[in-house]
Structure 1
Amino acid sequence: MNRDSEKQRPHERLEVWRDAMALVESVYRFTATFPDTERLGLTMQLRRAAVSVPSNIAEGAARRSTADYLRFLSIARGSLAEISTQIEIARRLGFMEAGKAADDLVDRTFARLNALIRSLDISPRNVRETPALYESPIPNPESHAR
């Protein structure tokens, strides 16, 4: 469902959120091909992690403080790392013939999420004046750069 840009919520305007939504769709499509024995295992894990990414981006965008926003973006980034690991597990188990699109979306979403995190970085002057307000829960915004 695409809304007019005037009616879009703040998170719906973010390219990273749109990429994350495409990732969810991709994950659901390729996990549908997994064996039935994985329905409560890897399939569910991948789907939950995938849904977590755009959900946390949206929740962070709705927060009032930059620190809260960064915290939710950090959680989204953690879920992306989880998806990346689970895709590798699926590949090693031979379940990933159709998963290339998801793999590419993970990389693109990581890049855009890291760019958003960097754009929210606070200047060193502000941090010196009121450090408690600007502490970032994200220790390394480049952690998934390839």
Structure 2
Amino acid sequence: MHNFEKLKIWEKAMEIAVEVYEISSLLPKDEKFNLIHQIKKCAVSIPSNIAEGAGRNYNKEFIQFLGIANGSTFELITQLILAKRLNLVDNEKIQPIIDKLIEVSNMNFALKKSLNK
């Protein structure tokens, strides 16, 4: 079992979740039950799955939850790109979050690799 609050990947994912909630308030209200809901759900899923995996008894289980978190990472990137393409939010607000998500994905890969040893 790992202390998830001490994991840099979890902390970075939490920062992203807060930023995504802030960005989602800029989206049109008619997207509340569509894109905004999906974006928030993915943003919360990333640190949540990292935490859940860290609380498991075996590294194999942790790795499985890291895989789920990574899937949510790429899903969120896709949704943010869609919001940008639909001109719902400016690239200057979206791109820094996408860059952080890519960093989290790289951290995820490195953590899974270290857990496999």
- The TM tier, using the shorter chain, reads over 0.9
SS in structure 1 at match of 2:116: coil
Equivalent AA in structure 2 for residue 56 of structure 1: N
Q: Aligned runs of 1:103-114 on 2, under 5 Å?
A: 103-114=98-109
Letter in 2 for 1:101: P
RMSD over aligned CA atoms reads 1.2
* Contact persistence 1:77–1:110 (CA under 8 A): yes
- Who is 2:48 aligned against? 55
Looking at structure 2, the residues matched to 81 and 48 of structure 1 have their Cα atoms a distance apart, in angstroms, of 13
8 Å Cα contact 1:22/1:105 also seen in 2: no
Give the aligned residue type for 1:118: K
**After TM superposition, what 4+ stretches of structure 1 lie above 6 angstroms from structure 2?**
none
Q: TM-score, normalised by structure 2?
A: 0.92
Q: Select the residue among 120, 127, 139 that pairs with 2:115.
A: 120
**Offset, 1:66:** 1.2
Letter of the 1:79 partner, please give it. S
Contact 1:26 1:101 in 2 (8 A): no
Are 1:33 and 2:26 matched, yes or no?
Answer: yes
Task: Using the aligned pairs only, state the percent identity.
Answer: 35
2:11 is matched with which residue: 18, 22, 28? Answer: 18
The C-alpha deviation readout for 1:84-142, integer Å capped at 9, x for no partner, is 110111111012312233112211111111111111124xxxxxxxxxxxxxxxxxxxx
Q: How does 1:34-113 map to 2 (within 5 A)?
A: 34-97=27-90, 98-113=93-108
For normalisation by structure 1, the TM-score amounts to 0.75
CA displacement 1:2-28 (0-9 Å, x = unmatched): xxxxxxx70011000000000101110
- Between the aligned partners of 1:47 and 1:101, the Cα distance in structure 2 is 17
Structure 1 gap ranges (5+):
1-8, 123-146
Structure with greater Cα Rg: 1
Number of residue pairs the alignment of both structures matches: 114
